[in-house]
């Protein structure tokens, strides 16, 4: 898809899995564009008021609808029916769209719906979403009847986040925004297992003889700074 202000790109692939002890399954891998998207950056800041996006970031919500239409067309074109497993991935903007899509699918499944069509059986345990540098996607108010995006209903959604990355901080939690599922934070110096984890990563990295040996981890020199938005204004 040519990148314009409110476009999104995605690619899908499938594989039939036969099983002697269980019903056959169709595996669908769905990856969403998160880089090199030109004017799509404007959609990242189309936050909206939630009235027409079910309390989601509007840019990500509108984009996930396009990806959902693409996925439904892909299923129809390839005559996919029966049991399905769905892998969803994305980076940065693609991660925000993927997180939104996976959360909406999980919500539909929890309500007993069939979001991919009456002939397609997708369960929570058949849906896997792994995203990287994931922005926040849904404005959650615990005082309403909204499902909690951090509850176990969404624990099949994982956001891999690196310590100090500003992208996962957008939109701000102070405005009530959250991500669906669980965060996996890499390289947080406050973690009690940080030194052991860092050494394990260095050992794995240095075990490849084709790469330059690394004795220090660059994020050890990272210093977080608090931005005064009032000063910017």
Digit-coded pLDDT (tens) for 38-75: 777 778 888 887 788 999 999 999 999 999 999 999 99
Note the pLDDT of residue 88: 98
Answer whether residue 143 shows pLDDT above 80: yes
Note the pLDDT of residue 189: 77
Q: Confidence class of residue 36 from pLDDT cuts 50, 70 and 90?
A: confident
Mean pLDDT for the chain overall? 87
Q: Where are the alpha helices (H) located in 53-186, listed in sequence order?
A: 58-77, 93-110
Answer whether residue 37 shows pLDDT above 80: no
Burial of 90 (0-12, 13-18, 19+ CB in 10 A): buried
The model's pTM = 0.85
Q: Confidence class of residue 224 from pLDDT cuts 50, 70 and 90?
A: low
- Would you say how long the chain is, in residues? 233
Distance between CA atoms of residues 136 and 170, nearest Å: 6
Note the pLDDT of residue 21: 75
């Amino acid at each position: 898809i040519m990148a314009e202000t409110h476009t999104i790109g995605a690619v899908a692939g499938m594989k039939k899995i036969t099983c002697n002890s269980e019903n056959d399954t169709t595996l669908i891998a769905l990856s969403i564009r998160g880089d090199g998207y030109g004017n799509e950056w404007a959609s990242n800041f189309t936050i909206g008021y939630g009235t027409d996006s079910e309390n989601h970031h509007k840019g990500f919500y509108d984009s996930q609808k396009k990806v959902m239409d693409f996925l439904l067309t892909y299923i129809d074109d390839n005559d996919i029916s029966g049991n399905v497993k769905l892998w969803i991935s994305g980076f940065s903007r693609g991660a925000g769209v993927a997180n939104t899509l996976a959360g909406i699918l999980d919500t539909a499944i929890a309500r007993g719906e069939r979001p991919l069509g009456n002939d397609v059986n997708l369960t929570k345990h058949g849906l896997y979403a792994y995203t990287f540098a994931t922005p926040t996607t849904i404005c959650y108010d615990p005082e309403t009847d909204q499902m909690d995006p951090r509850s176990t209903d969404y624990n099949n959604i994982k956001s891999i986040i690196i310590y100090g990355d500003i992208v996962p901080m957008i939109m701000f939690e102070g405005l009530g925004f959250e991500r669906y599922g669980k965060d996996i934070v890499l390289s947080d110096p406050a973690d009690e297992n940080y030194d052991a984890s860092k050494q394990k990563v260095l050992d794995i990295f240095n075990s490849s003889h084709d790469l330059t040996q690394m004795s220090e981890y660059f994020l050890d020199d990272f210093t977080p700074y608090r931005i005064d938005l009032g000063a910017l204004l």
